């Protein structure tokens, strides 16, 4: 199967360098028209320059493709809306959004200011929200859309010094889960990429020879799978250095305690059954948990009524 994007329009945020640039260039090589969004800030979010975005546009045009540079700050909805408006004016549609823009402000929680925490949440979570909001009705009207969130192992599993980054990266999975449900009837599919790559954010943290094995292209291969017409849906794809895996959130089957036993002591007494993973499942939609617990309660009541006959 050949994965192509001919006739499609993609927006890639943070596409001036690193992973975003890699995603944008490969989308263009495979036929997409690409909006290169980049504020041009440093890794910590300071400064701004449109030079990087224009450079990527030049590369795409040199290969015979079409691209548009835009320096929208993803935390500013008006700027994001202007970016989307320009894409619509130029090409008349938006098929793909890859939310890649991000910054770091790493510190232990005790040393981190609330402003440093809020800034990261604003960029990673609200930046993704703003971009999704700006394209959502367009994708609904087209009856087609593919959105990729960028999450992280720091969010899914934790990482010292990254409470702000981890919280933001886990939050985009919550955004994904509900957008999947709301977008289903309009053929809008939403997935998440958890990358490991030798980008600017790793410089100085690990040896160069290790960084050299973590190529952006290895991550981009996964990103493009998540945004093509036959993409999966509600998938968290982990990719880096040639390794690919999927992460899912499971819930154990759990136990039921009758009203008289619903105490902390009984919860502790039945802990082994609560954490037993033998019948764990992936729940699609929060109401499935309610249905499961209500079902356990009904089964218990029916068993009690049967015993009284």
**Which of 200, 221, 247 lies at the terminal end of a domain, its last residue?**
247
Q: Is residue 1 part of a domain?
A: no
pLDDT at 247 over 80: yes
Please check whether residues 144 and 292 belong to one and the same domain: no
The dihedral built from the CA positions of residue 99, 102, 106 and 109, taken in this order, carries a sign that is negative
Res 198: pLDDT: 60
Please check whether residues 264 and 298 belong to one and the same domain: yes
pLDDT in tens, 106-154: 999 999 999 999 999 999 999 999 999 999 999 999 999 999 999 999 9
Q: Is residue 269 part of a domain?
A: yes
Q: Is residue 91 part of a domain?
A: yes
Please check whether residues 196 and 219 belong to one and the same domain: yes
| Percent of the chain at pLDDT exceeding 70 | 94
**Which of 194, 214, 247 lies at the terminal end of a domain, its last residue?**
247
Q: Is residue 132 part of a domain?
A: yes
Q: Is residue 148 part of a domain?
A: yes
The pLDDT of 38-57, averaged and rounded, is 73
Q: Is residue 253 part of a domain?
A: no
How many separate domains does the chain show? Answer: 2
Please check whether residues 232 and 268 belong to one and the same domain: no
pLDDT in tens, 199-237: 566 677 778 877 777 889 999 999 999 999 999 999 999
Half-sphere exposure of 104 (CA within 13 A, CB side): 14
Please check whether residues 178 and 127 belong to one and the same domain: yes
Asked if 190 and 234 touch (Cβ cutoff 8 Å), the reply is yes
Range with lowest mean pLDDT among 7-11, 45-49, 55-59: 45-49
Options 144, 157, 165, 256, the catalytic residue = 165
pLDDT at 47 over 50: no
Mean pLDDT (the chain, rounded): 93
Q: Is residue 173 part of a domain?
A: yes
CA angle at 189 for the pair 187 and 132, rounded to the nearest 5°: 105
Full domain range(s) for residue 272: 259-308
Please check whether residues 131 and 39 belong to one and the same domain: yes
Please check whether residues 276 and 154 belong to one and the same domain: no
Q: At what angle do helices 163-183 and 127-142 cross, to 10 degrees?
A: 10
Please check whether residues 40 and 177 belong to one and the same domain: yes
**Which of 247, 271, 296 lies at the terminal end of a domain, its last residue?**
247
Half-sphere exposure of 83 (CA within 13 A, CB side): 32
Q: Is residue 252 part of a domain?
A: no
Residue 144 appears among annotated catalytic residues: no
CATH of the domain at 56: 3.40.50.720
């Amino acid at each position: 199967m050949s994965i192509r994007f001919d006739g499609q329009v993609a927006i890639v945020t943070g596409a001036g360098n690193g992973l975003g640039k890699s995603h944008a260039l490969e989308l263009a090589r495979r036929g997409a028209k690409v909006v290169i969004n980049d504020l041009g800030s440093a890794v910590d979010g300071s400064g701004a320059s449109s030079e990087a975005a224009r450079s990527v546009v030049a590369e795409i045009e040199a290969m015979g493709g079409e691209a548009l540079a835009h320096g929208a700050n993803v935390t500013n909805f008006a700027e994001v809306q202007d970016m989307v408006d320009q894409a619509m004016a130029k090409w008349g549609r938006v098929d793909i959004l890859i939310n890649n823009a991000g910054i770091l402000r790493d510190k232990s929680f005790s040393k981190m200011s609330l402003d440093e925490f809020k800034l990261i949440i604003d960029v990673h979570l609200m930046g993704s929200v703003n971009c999704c909001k700006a394209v959502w009705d367009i994708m609904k009207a087209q009856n087609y859309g593919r959105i990729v969130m960028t999450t992280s192992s720091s969010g899914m599993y934790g990482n010292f010094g990254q409470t702000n980054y981890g919280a933001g990266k886990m939050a985009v999975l919550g955004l994904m889960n509900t957008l999947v449900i709301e977008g289903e009837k309009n053929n809008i599919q939403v997935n998440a990429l958890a990358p490991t790559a030798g980008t600017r954010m790793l410089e100085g943290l690990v040896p160069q020879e290790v960084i050299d094995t973590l190529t952006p292209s290895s991550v981009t291969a996964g990103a493009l799978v998540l945004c093509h017409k036959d993409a999966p849906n509600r998938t968290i794809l982990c990719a880096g250095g040639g390794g690919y895996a999927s992460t899912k959130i499971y819930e154990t089957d759990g136990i039921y305690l009758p009203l008289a036993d619903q105490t902390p002591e009984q919860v502790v007494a039945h802990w082994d059954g609560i954490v037993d993973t033998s019948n764990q499942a992936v729940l699609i939609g929060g109401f499935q948990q309610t249905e499961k617990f209500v079902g356990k309660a009904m089964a218990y009541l029916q068993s009690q009524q049967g015993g009284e006959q």
